[in-house]
Amino acid sequence: MAYSGPFQPGDRVQLTDAKRRHFTITLEPGETFFTHKGGIAHDDIIGADEGTVVVSQTGGQYLCFRHLMVDHVLSMPRGAAVIYPKDSAQILVEGDIFPGARVLEAGAGSGALSMSLLRMIGEHGELISYEIREDHLEYAEKNVSEYLGGHPDNWDLRLGDLTQVGLKDLDGKPVDRVILDMLEPWECLDTVAEILVPGGVFMTYVATVPQLMKVMEGIREKKCFTEPRAWESLVREWKVEGLATRPEHRMNAHTAFLVWARRLADGVVAPRPQRRARK
């Protein structure tokens, strides 16, 4: 799919009507998309610029834009729940995912985070994705390949349990970043400590408070990471209409906690965090 320029055959296009309902089509010459307001000929869209309004057979108007990654993530088939954009964006920034990075993720799920990581590391980076369930692995493969137009050469998708993985399974080369999205990430801390380069960033995504407590304590007990940080992100849109400006009634509230730590050099013990004494 092209990222800019006039629409071309094969592009995924999002049609939006006056009620902000979205419909996604893949452009094919000679085809027609049928709506409750009549058909829309794909040929009326092919060759037009993004931001064009196409009119259906009975006069319905639809705004046309290419599918963005966020649109694909929220609409694609899934076997496991996806990491939502508000969290994946923070993983990319807080995790300092850079072009050329060697990144390992476990819990590939439906492939939502994999797409963001692949885009961020670029063609010179490497992404190694572990998934323990074969059905989830198939979803990840299909969703990522569909969006990127094929299986990327720098994406190593593996079926397996990360607790059974060691440095030897990575050709003896440590990774720059580790991102976990799984039920029991504390079970993988020995693996993370072995495969992560000193100074590398480790992040994990957990949904519940008991998971958060257990992984935080596990990181502290390993004594080879910095003091972990934990947070959640809440996103609330606003309705802006003159004097009626107000927050939307619905918001993207809790999805999961993000936990962040960095790998210490071998044999180093970090200074114990000091808390201000109570008066």
**The whole model's pTM is what?**
0.86
Residue 193 belongs to what domain range?
Answer: 71-263
Domain shared by 161 and 32, yes or no: no
Q: Is 111 marked as binding a ligand?
A: yes
The CATH number assigned to the domain holding 57 equals: 3.10.330.20
Q: How far apart are CA 163 and CA 222, in angstroms?
A: 15
Q: Is 110 marked as binding a ligand?
A: yes
Specify if 275 maps to a domain.
Answer: no
Domain shared by 131 and 34, yes or no: no
Q: Is 242 marked as binding a ligand?
A: no
- Length of the chain, in residues: 279
- Kindly give, in sequence order, each residue whose CB lies less than 8 Å from that of residue 60, ignoring residues fewer than 6 positions away: 17, 35, 36, 37, 38
- Residue 2 has a pLDDT of 65
Number of structural domains (the chain) is 2
Specify if 238 maps to a domain.
Answer: yes
* Arithmetic mean of pLDDT, 115-125: 95
The CATH number assigned to the domain holding 179 equals: 3.40.50.150
Strands (DSSP E) found in the chain = 12-16, 22-26, 32-35, 38-41, 52-55, 61-66, 102-106, 126-131, 155-159, 175-180, 196-206, 229-231, 238-239, 246-247, 257-262
- Report the share of the chain in percent with pLDDT over 90: 75
Specify if 81 maps to a domain.
Answer: yes
Q: Is 113 marked as binding a ligand?
A: yes
Q: Give the range among 100-104, 108-112, 179-183, 258-262 with minimum mean pLDDT.
A: 108-112
Domain shared by 59 and 89, yes or no: no
Q: Is the pLDDT of residue 79 over 80?
A: no
- Residue 279 has a pLDDT of 62
* Arithmetic mean of pLDDT, 265-271: 85
In which band, very low, low, confident or very high, does the pLDDT at 205 lie, cut at 50, 70 and 90? very high
Q: Is 2 marked as binding a ligand?
A: no
- Residue 39 has a pLDDT of 93
Q: Is 112 marked as binding a ligand?
A: yes
Domain shared by 24 and 82, yes or no: no
